[in-house]
Amino acid sequence: MAIEKIPFGSTGHESTRTIFGAAALGSVTQAEADDALALLLERGVNHIDTAASYGDAELRIAPWLVDPRKDFFLATKTGERERGAAHDEIRRSLERLGVDSVDLIQLHNLVDRAEWETAMGPGGALEAAVAARDEGLVRFIGVTGHGVDVAERHLQSLAEFPFDSVLFPYTYIQLQDHRYAAAVEELLDLCAEREIAVQTIKSLSKGRWRTEERTAAPWYEPLTEPASIHTAVSWTLGRPGIFLNTVSDLKLLPLVLEAAASPGVRPSDEQMDALVAEQGITPLFDAANPHF
């Protein structure tokens, strides 16, 4: 079963509600990446989200774009904060991807106040993104982030520039933080009003790793049981109009796509509370761990 498509903000593109998070390709072989491509095509996924900092991900994606390029909305990110460095990184991403242009360039994890002022100010990375758009190297510009301050910072970013998309953590447990939830709701209302695409991440997070032995690829501990994944994915996709970016682990990708293809009714708060208790889910970001 194919995954539902909805407008990606005001870009004119209908993207699958589940976007492939290409951080999962950072340290895999090309053969493993190509197996993931087959699964994405099977489910009709038509939007890829990568970044310059995702290891070899851009290189792994490049062969995918030779033939099925027309089927993918292609997004990447620059983590540089100054114009010159961002200018160079955007062009390096195009070279690594083997393309003349991408659909979306995003200012990556723009939350830290000092970094925000640099990137958004004179001679900052935003100027490089706008110049790349003017040159036809990118079509749209977005902003991404993590941590407890991300929604508030995105609101500040949108007050300064008409970004086409935002990306931030959106999970049941994280939204039990009332300050975070209030900022997220304000951000979602603004994005709906302006037709700004909303991408969400960390849908499968159980919290930070509590053991030194890590059994999955993400920097946080993910849910791994099919029923739990289905519940978490269904809860995220139960919010109309938002997108879910897949977890950075190819082993979990089939389970996420299966859940996204038939999410069903959004789980109730009682069901989510039960999942939290059963799986020992904790907030990924809090006062003690406000960032990565």
Over residues 121-134, the pLDDT tens digits come to 999 999 999 999 99
70 — pLDDT class (breaks 50, 70, 90): low
- Average pLDDT of the segment spanning 171-192: 97
Residue 158 belongs to domain with CATH number:
3.20.20.100
117 — pLDDT class (breaks 50, 70, 90): very high
The pTM of the whole model exceeds 0.85:
yes
Answer yes or no: are the C-beta atoms of 40 and 13 closer than 8 Å. Answer: no
Domain membership flag for residue 284: no
Domain membership flag for residue 291: no
H or E stretch at 168:
strand 165-169
Domain membership flag for residue 189: yes
173, two tokens: 């447990």
Number of domains in the chain: 1
- What phi and psi, each to the nearest 5 degrees, are found at residue 31? -65, -40
202, two tokens: 């960390």
Could you say which DSSP state residue 142 is in? E
Mean pLDDT for the chain overall: 95
- Average pLDDT of the segment spanning 147-155: 97
What domain range includes position 186? 5-279
H or E stretch at 47:
strand 47-49
Answer yes or no: are the C-beta atoms of 203 and 209 closer than 8 Å. Answer: no
Domain membership flag for residue 288: no
Q: What is the pLDDT of residues 201-258, one digit of tens each?
A: 999 999 888 877 676 668 788 999 999 999 999 999 999 999 999 998 999 999 999 9
Residue pointed to by tokens 């004179």 = 122
Cβ neighbours of residue 193 under 8 Å, at least 6 residues apart?
Answer: none
Q: CA-CA distance, 38 to 64, in Å (whole number)? A: 10
Domain membership flag for residue 179: yes
Domain membership flag for residue 287: no
Q: CA-CA distance, 99 to 27, in Å (whole number)? A: 21
